[in-house]
């Protein structure tokens, strides 16, 4: 595993653009297209901000490669796990994880010893 590139953001919706730009720089440095990575990290960061953190909390976003595969992570303070939903046609939200699931090789969660969780997504380097 290479040393993770890390950014710490405040839990605020406006920080999602900052995270997308960060991932664009990291993937560009790796010589990988960042289109899929920007979509995936937007979903991860939005969920961490919306469901995993309180106002003013920090969210950690990391990008690294493990066995040649790009990995994106968000760390937040909530123990609540993300849930993939099947929203109805009139729903205005709830499709993000469903979409993300189709774009990545795999994703999941793991608890943090100090409380909270990491949500990670492993991307296909050919698809990014």
Residue at 48 is within a domain: yes
User: Terminal CA-to-CA distance of the chain, rounded, Å?
Assistant: 19
The phi and psi torsions of 63 (rounded to 5 degrees) equal -135, 135
Supply the pLDDT for residue 1. 64
Range of the domain at 108: 5-122
The answer to whether the beta carbons of residues 14 and 3 sit under 8 Å apart is no
How far is the C-alpha of 85 from the C-alpha of 95, rounded, in Å?
7
- What CATH code is carried by the domain that includes residue 69? 3.30.565.10
Residue at 128 is within a domain: no
Q: What is the pLDDT of residues 51-64, one digit of tens each?
A: 877 767 899 999 99
The answer to whether the beta carbons of residues 72 and 62 sit under 8 Å apart is yes
- With left for phi above 0 and alpha for psi between -120 and 50, is residue 50 left, alpha or beta? alpha
Q: What is the pLDDT of residues 63-119, one digit of tens each?
A: 999 999 999 999 999 998 887 777 767 656 667 788 899 899 999 999 999 999 999
Residue at 18 is within a domain: yes
Compare 124 and 92 and report the one with higher pLDDT: 124
Residue at 20 is within a domain: yes
């Amino acid at each position: 595993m290479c040393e993770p590139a890390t950014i710490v953001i405040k839990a605020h919706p406006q920080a999602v653009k900052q995270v997308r730009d960060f991932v664009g720089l990291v993937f560009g440095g790796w010589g990988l297209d960042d289109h899929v990575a920007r979509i995936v990290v937007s979903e991860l960061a939005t969920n961490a901000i919306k469901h995993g953190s309180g106002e003013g909390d920090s969210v950690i976003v990391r990008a690294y490669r493990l066995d040649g595969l790009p990995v994106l992570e968000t760390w937040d303070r909530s123990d609540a796990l993300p849930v993939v939903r099947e929203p109805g046609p009139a729903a205005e939200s709830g499709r993000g994880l469903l979409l993300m699931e189709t774009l990545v090789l795999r994703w999941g969660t793991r608890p943090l010893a100090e409380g909270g969780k990491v949500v990670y997504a492993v991307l296909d380097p050919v698809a990014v």
